[in-house]
Amino acid sequence: MTTTPLVPDAAALRDGADVLSLAPVIPVVVVDSVEQAVPLARALVRGGIPVIEITLRSEAGLGAIEAVASQVEGMVVGAGTVVTPAQVQQVKDAGAQFLVTPGSPPRLLEAALASGLPLLAGAGTLTEMLTLAEAGLEAMKFFPAEASGGRPYLSAVAGPCPQLRFCPTGGITSETAAAWLALPNVGCVGGSWLTPKDAVAQGDWGRIEALAAEAAALRPA
């Protein structure tokens, strides 16, 4: 079933660069049940974060994408941990408005580009980044960020590739996010700290709203 998202026209996305501009932090979310997804997403919107990456790391992921896309006004919903060409079509049909992949093998990259959805493809090395640039992508995901050399590595990338911009994800915390955002080639960061597992399990949407508000106010260090 194809879902019609409720996101306003002003939030229409052309490419990955538009995704980077939505908020300082993209929440990377794993939900254990579809029922958690809508109140969680609404809490993020109330806190000033109008974007969410719902990963396919749980069986509830696909249904959660569909629920948020069809029920949460003002939220741009992306699909994360997309690892196969088949998943690309599944999340598009569910209403995902952008794709996030942890890596960029040829068949997955081809399917993601063919979908027409904005894409943040994962890259952890300069060769992978240049491969994505050859495919026409100038915005991408730096993953796993801390394990792939952290801020010093991504800062060095800006020398030979000043046109590339990134959403670093993996190991970033509320304490380190501002330092990442200070890098000239970083548009936003991805993080899971906005939606702690215990808060989601307990339905503590007020806590998630407060964490979203703190993230929305982040400025480069």
Residues labelled catalytic: 53, 141
Whole-Å CA distances, 112 to 18, 97, 108, 215: 17, 12, 6, 29
Residues contacting residue 120 through CB under 8 Å, at least 6 positions apart: 16, 19, 20, 78, 98, 99, 100, 101, 139, 140, 141, 167
- What's the 3-state SS for 142-180? ECCCCCCCHHHHHHHHCCCCCCCEEEEECCCCCCCHHHH
d(CA 172, CA 25): 10
CA–CA dist 75, 7 (Å, integer): 6
Q: Which residues of 16-37 are buried (b: 16+ CB within 10 A; e: fewer)?
A: bebbbebbbbbbbbbbeebebb
Nearest to 52 by CA among 85, 92, 84, 19: 19
